[in-house]
Amino acid sequence: MNTNDSDDEFFRETHYARYGYDRTNIYGLAVLDSRKPTCLDRAEEFPSHRFESFPSTTTDNAPDPLKKPVRHLIAASSSEMVGLASRDGYWNSLHMGLGLTMGRHEMIAMDAVEEGDRVLVAVAIAEKEPNDTFQYSLRIFSSSAPYLEQALIDIAGKYVQGGIGFHLTNVPDTRQVIPLSSAPMHLTHTWSKEQHQLMFLLTALDGRIHMYMAQDDNIFKQVEDVGSYYPMMAEICEHRLKILFMHIYDRPNGQQVICAGGQNGDVILAIYDPDGNQVAYHTTRVFSPITSVLVFQQRVSNTVHPEDELHIVATCAIELAIVYRSIENNGLSKSRVLPQSGNYDSVMCSHAMDVDWDGEREIMIGTYGRQVLIYKQVAGTQEYNVLWRRQFAYPIYRISHLDLNRDGLDELIVSTMYGVHVFQPNMKRARERLLEVLQYVEGNKRRIYELVLEWRHQKEMEKAIVFESQ
C-alpha cells in the first residue's frame, strides 16, 4: 500500500481484515446501534482472531439492556459476513455464517438494525442456477439472544456443510426468504410514523422501491402502496427510475430527509415534517450515474438550531462529486463541485465526519482509483479544499466511522474491494485538542468566578451606602 507523507496527520491504520478469497461489493458495510451488552474478552491474537462460535456461559440471568445504544460494525463480502463488536479498549471479530457458497451465492446488499430485543440482518442475494441464470431473494435473519456477540454469531443459525451446499441445523428466531423478480441494488431501513414499525426499503433494477414492513408475528410483508408513506417513492416507481443509492436522514427534531440517486443521473430529494407530511420535493439530473448520496448537517450537534443547514453530497461515476448546499432553502439549485474528485477514476462513496474536532464535519470521498480524500470548507466561502489524501491497494467501496474500542474517539472505517481497514485518529492531535478544550473550560470557569466575586462586592457596597434623610 502506497501512502503519502501526511498519512499520520489525521489517521493511522491499526488493523486490516481481509475477506479471504472473497471480494466485497459496494453495499457491503453497515453500522449497527444496539443496546445489547457485550461479554467476550479480548482474544490473545487480537485483532486478527475471529470468533466462529459463541462460548458456553454459566450466566443464568439475562443481562439488562444498556441505557444508551452502542455502535458496532458489520461488513460483508460476496458470500461471508463479519461483525466487529466494540468493547472497552478493543473489539471482537465475529464470523456470521449465512450458509452461502462462494461462486454460487453473492450478497449484493445488506443492512442491520435492532428492533426491541431483536437484532435483524437483511441481505439481498443473487443465486446462480445451473443454466447460468440468477434467482434473487431478500433474506431476513433475526436473533433475540441476550448478548450482542451471541446474537451476531447465531443470527442465521448454525450451518454445517452437507453433500451439496449447506443445510440449516439450528433455526434462529426467524429466517425469512422473500423472492425478488428483479436484480436488487441498495438496501436500507426506516420506521413508520404512525405505529413505529420497522420497514426495509430495497431499490431494484425494475425501477421500483420495494417496501417490506414488520408485522405483529415478526414476519415482513411487502407494502404495495409505498406512496402512502412516501409520495416521492411513488414518483420513482411511476417513472421507473433505477435507484442505485438512497439515504434516509432523521433529524433530532423529527424531520426526515430522503435523497435518492439513479442510474440515469437523477437526484431526487424530499423533506418530511415530524408528522410524515411531504413538505418539499426537488429533482435534478446530471450526466452520470449517481453512485451514492449523503445528507448531512455540517455543524456537529444532537440538536437543531435555526441557523443549521443541510447539504447533500452526490458522487458520480464519470463526473466530479457535487455538493448541493442549503437544501431546505435552495432545493437542488445551488451546488459546488469537489476539486480533484474526478482525478482518480469513478467516485464510489462519500461520508461526513469531524476529523479535526473543530465542531464541523468534513466531507470524505472514496474512489475506484483507490483514493480516499477529505475536504474542508474554506472559512467564509462555500468552496472546498483537499485536507488529506491516502492511496490504498484496492478500490474504495464504503467509508464510515464509529468508536470501535470505546476510548471516546471514533475510528475511521474504510471498506475496499477485498477487506476492511480500521484507522485510529492521531492521538497527539487528540491530546492537543483536549488540552485546548480543557484550557477553554478552565478559562470560562475563572471568568465566571471573577464575575461572581465582582457581583458580590457590588452588593456589599450597595448595603454599605447610607442615605441621609431629606
Nearest to residue 188, comparing CAs of 105, 265, 122, 240? 122
What is residue 404's three-state secondary structure? coil
List, as one string, the DSSP characters of 125-154.
EEEE-TTS-EEEEEEEEEE--SSHHHHHHT
Band (468; pLDDT cuts 50, 70, 90): low
CA distance 184 to 212: 14
Mean pLDDT (the chain) is 88
pLDDT score at 375: 97
CA distance 16 to 25: 17
Span 224-253, mean pLDDT? 95
pLDDT tens column, 239-285: 999 999 999 999 998 999 999 999 999 999 999 999 999 999 999 99
Nearest to residue 347, comparing CAs of 415, 414, 286, 291? 291
Q: Do residues 258 and 249 make contact, with C-beta atoms less than 8 angstroms apart?
A: yes
Domain residue extents for the chain:
15-239
pLDDT score at 21: 66
Span 437-443, mean pLDDT? 79
Name the more confident of 180 and 60: 180
pLDDT at 165 over 50: no
What is residue 168's three-state secondary structure? strand
Q: How far is CA 279 from CA 77, 274, 368, in A?
A: 39, 10, 36
pLDDT tens column, 361-413: 999 999 999 999 999 999 888 899 999 999 999 999 999 999 999 999 999 99
pLDDT at 98 over 90: no
CA distance 420 to 398: 9
pLDDT tens column, 144-161: 999 999 999 888 664 333
What is residue 427's three-state secondary structure? helix
Span 312-325, mean pLDDT? 96
Among 121-125, 183-187, 397-401, 443-447, whose mean pLDDT is lowest?
Answer: 443-447
Q: Do residues 288 and 265 make contact, with C-beta atoms less than 8 angstroms apart?
A: yes
pLDDT score at 53: 85
